[in-house]
Amino acid sequence: MSEKLWISLSVGLLLFACTKGEMKTVQTQQAGEYTVTVLSDSGSIKNGANDFILEFRKTGDGQLVDVGTVDVAPIMDMPGMSPMMGSATVTTTDTPGRYRATGSLSMAGLWKFNVKFGDGRALRLSVNAK
Ligand SMILES: [Cu+2]
């Protein structure tokens, strides 16, 4: 095998491995014509600092759809106390409709992700942080 071919094969495999990166569904929620899915490497969200993926798809055909600016506000209801606020920074990726989020959840348990997107749309996902 020529060296050139070998290198291009290796690079190809590397790219394939990076882009494939099996993400597992954490939670999915439908809001009318949009279906929003939270994904992560492990299929769960951790207590503390986390990276996860948000995908927006048309409910009808399941195709990824760019929804413009996305905002995620994680909130935990605390019995007898004011709600606990987490944070999440959302950025776009090279794939329209797929967003990368860096979250910070200060406690394990049930969080509500208040998601705002597009033209004044909103939905809420329940996510259990482990
Ligand atoms: Cu809490």
Tens digit of each residue's pLDDT (9 = 90 or more) over 61-119: 999 999 999 999 999 999 999 999 999 999 999 999 999 999 999 999 999 999 999 98
CATH number at residue 50: 2.60.40.10
In the reported structure, the alpha carbon of residue 84 is separated from the centroid of ligand 1 by a whole-number distance in angstroms of 5
In the reported structure, the alpha carbon of residue 109 is separated from the centroid of ligand 1 by a whole-number distance in angstroms of 7
97 within a domain of the structure (yes/no): yes
In the reported structure, the alpha carbon of residue 81 is separated from the centroid of ligand 1 by a whole-number distance in angstroms of 9
6 within a domain of the structure (yes/no): no
Tell me how many domains the chain contains: 1
31 within a domain of the structure (yes/no): yes
Is the pLDDT assigned to residue 20 strictly greater than 70? no
In the reported structure, the alpha carbon of residue 77 is separated from the centroid of ligand 1 by a whole-number distance in angstroms of 7
Q: Yes or no: say if 88 and 72 are a contact pair by the CB < 8 Å rule.
A: yes
7 within a domain of the structure (yes/no): no
Return the exposure string of 87-118: e unless at least 16 CB atoms fall within 10 Å of the residue's CB, then b: ebebeeeeeebbbebebebeeeeebbbebebe
- Domain holding 97, by residue range, is 23-129
First to last CA, the chain: 48
How far apart are alpha carbons 65 and 67 in whole angstroms? 6
In the reported structure, the alpha carbon of residue 123 is separated from the centroid of ligand 1 by a whole-number distance in angstroms of 21
In the reported structure, the alpha carbon of residue 72 is separated from the centroid of ligand 1 by a whole-number distance in angstroms of 17
Is the pLDDT assigned to residue 15 strictly greater than 60? no
Residue with the bigger pLDDT between 108 and 9: it is: 108
Residue with the bigger pLDDT between 6 and 129: it is: 129
- Which residues lie near ion ligand 1 (Cβ < 5 Å)? 76, 78, 84, 107
How far apart are alpha carbons 119 and 65 in whole angstroms? 13
| pLDDT at 22 (0 to 100) | 84
pTM, whole model, 2 decimals? Answer: 0.82
